[in-house]
Amino acid sequence: MSNASFPVLSLIILLPLLGAMAIAVTRDIRLAKTVALLFATLELIATGVTVQLFNANLGNSFQLVEQHAWIPSLNIEYLVGVDGISVLFLPMSALLTLMAIIASWNSVQHLTRFHFALLLALESITIGVFVALDMALFFLFWELTLPPIFFLIGLWGIGSGRRSAAIKYTMFMLFGGVPLLFAIIILAVNHATVAGGSIPQGLAFSLPVLLGTPLPDSLQTLVFLLLLLGFAVKAPLVPFHTWLPTVAMEGPTQLTALLTGLKLGAFGIIRFAMPLAPTAAVQYSWVLGILGAITLVYSALIALQQTNLRRLLAYASVSHVGLVIVGVASLTMQGIQGAIFQLLNFTMVAGSLMLVAGFIQHRLGSTEAIHLGGLAKVMPRLACFYFLFVLASIGLPGTSGFPAELLLIISTMLAHPSISIAALIGVILSAAYMLTFTRRAFFGPVTQASVRQVQDLRPRELTLLCVSALLILGFGFFPNGVLKTNRATAEAWLSRIMDQPVLVSESGRN
């Protein structure tokens, strides 16, 4: 591990919290909005600096590491760091949060200061999930995402069932947290057993330490399935996906943009489930591939039936997660790099599409296709951005969706030819449901009086969508920047999983 000379990761964790605290003592609502915008901008700059400090050539080690004793009696530490898998998620999370704050500028009319404070707090916690290298610390950040999301859905949701949606989301996440906690405890106790230490003195929660601790085959399957179950709920994968369409319909669109754009569950599968139980990951890769294929095709078929843009985008998000899991299950370089690329792509494409849906909802009070006919005639600027994001979502060449989906499909063809058929079907269905809804909602005659009078994008909204559009085109034409950042780490990740039986035997002899 490469230790940091300056605690930059602690800074980017604490900076949004400081912004939330500043908002708490601010009485003027307009000033509170400005404070939120200022701290979100500073966070984006700080995360950008973090990426500049990262050395992409050091693939087999964590960088910018900060390590301090936290609960010494249990060997739990404050341990944070980044590698090629996690580092780009930091600026993308900061960017999406900044966009959510700008999108909320005029749409939140009550408890405004509390709303912006919660967005900043959620950003801080999300950054903590991406950088935590102690499993107990990770689990703390993981569970801390629940309170702000619960209040954001329950207090600022746009549906009559928003409180029920908040409870449903919380119950799903609590259910998913149980197997995660059991898996973490098993890993910690296994380290004590292997090291010959007593409990609790011999426990270990450090991810680098656990990666170097042999895990018996009898425990690998259990740990892998527990971690997979916990992360599948958050991803979400079928059959644990039902909370996302509910939240998309009942919750605030700014929060839904964060939930669809930041796939913490899929990140957890790549970061923890696969490398911590590599033998089981290889053994059950076909199960993971089938689960991803079912999620991909099933959600795409459901999306074809949707008449509401927000619900359609929710099912589209679930379907794309299925494609990511199929790529991860291939256990190839193309698969892991394509999966990381696609998860980053979600931040820009899925998040921006949901924000566009929010702009429509705020203006018209509905995102049902029957109420939206002819939008392109009265909102040409919004329609242009929406169409670009749709093209990126279906993987058109020149957009960021193309290199990600190409890598994922190639990896599936190489590893699981039969599953690749499902991947291709899913991609075709993706184009079908996105373009069909676009034709119904944006083209044709204007039939609603409210649509004729609707206002196009405001300058603030236009600016934030321009940033997202430029990134989508930039990553589409120049994808090597992303691929170079995670190539060395992806190689080390793949080498660990594929060569793990040899590593375990050597550790046993030592």
Q: What pLDDT shows up at residue 105?
A: 87
Please check the confidence at residue 109 and state whether its pLDDT lies above 90: no
Q: What pLDDT shows up at residue 503?
A: 31
Q: What pLDDT shows up at residue 2?
A: 66
Q: What pLDDT shows up at residue 1?
A: 64
SS3 of residue 78 by DSSP: strand
Q: What pLDDT shows up at residue 502?
A: 33
pLDDT band of residue 365 (cuts 50, 70, 90) is confident
The whole-angstrom separation of Cα 195 and Cα 197 is 5
pLDDT band of residue 420 (cuts 50, 70, 90) is confident
Mean pLDDT value across residues 99-113 = 88
Name the average pLDDT for the chain. 90
Please check the confidence at residue 510 and state whether its pLDDT lies above 70: no
Mean pLDDT value across residues 447-474 = 89
Q: What pLDDT shows up at residue 500?
A: 52
Residue 343: both structure tokens together: 């998860």
> Cβ–Cβ contacts within 10 Å for residue 300, how many?
26
Q: What pLDDT shows up at residue 504?
A: 33
Q: Tokens 């949707």 sit at which residue?
A: 306
- Percent helix, strand, coil in the chain, to 5, is 75, 5, 20
Note whether 65 and 80 are within 8 A (CB).
Answer: yes
CA distances from 85 to 131, 289, 357, 480 (A): 10, 21, 30, 15
Least confident of 128-137, 190-199, 404-413: 190-199
pLDDT band of residue 8 (cuts 50, 70, 90) is very high
Please check the confidence at residue 501 and state whether its pLDDT lies above 70: no
Q: Tokens 């190639």 sit at which residue?
A: 410
Local structure of residue 63 (DSSP, 8 states) = E
Please check the confidence at residue 443 and state whether its pLDDT lies above 50: yes
| Helices and strands (DSSP H and E) totals, the chain | 24, 2
Type of residue numbered 195? A
The whole-angstrom separation of Cα 255 and Cα 464 is 16
Q: Tokens 């059959």 sit at which residue?
A: 239
Looking at the chain, the whole-number percentage of residues with pLDDT higher than 70 is 97
Mean pLDDT value across residues 267-296 = 93
Please check the confidence at residue 80 and state whether its pLDDT lies above 90: yes
Mean pLDDT value across residues 104-116 = 87
Note whether 418 and 495 are within 8 A (CB).
Answer: no
Please check the confidence at residue 3 and state whether its pLDDT lies above 80: no
The whole-angstrom separation of Cα 346 and Cα 439 is 23
Please check the confidence at residue 66 and state whether its pLDDT lies above 70: yes
Q: pLDDT digit string (tens) for 180-231? A: 999 999 999 998 888 877 777 788 899 999 998 888 888 999 999 999 999 9
Type of residue numbered 368? E
Q: How many angstroms separate the most distant Cα atoms in the chain? A: 77
> Phi and psi at residue 214, in whole multiples of 5°?
-60, 135
SS3 of residue 81 by DSSP: strand
Q: What pLDDT shows up at residue 4?
A: 62
The whole-angstrom separation of Cα 212 and Cα 83 is 17
Q: pLDDT digit string (tens) for 321-356? A: 999 999 999 999 999 999 999 999 988 999 999 999
Looking at the chain, the whole-number percentage of residues with pLDDT higher than 90 is 66
Please check the confidence at residue 418 and state whether its pLDDT lies above 90: no
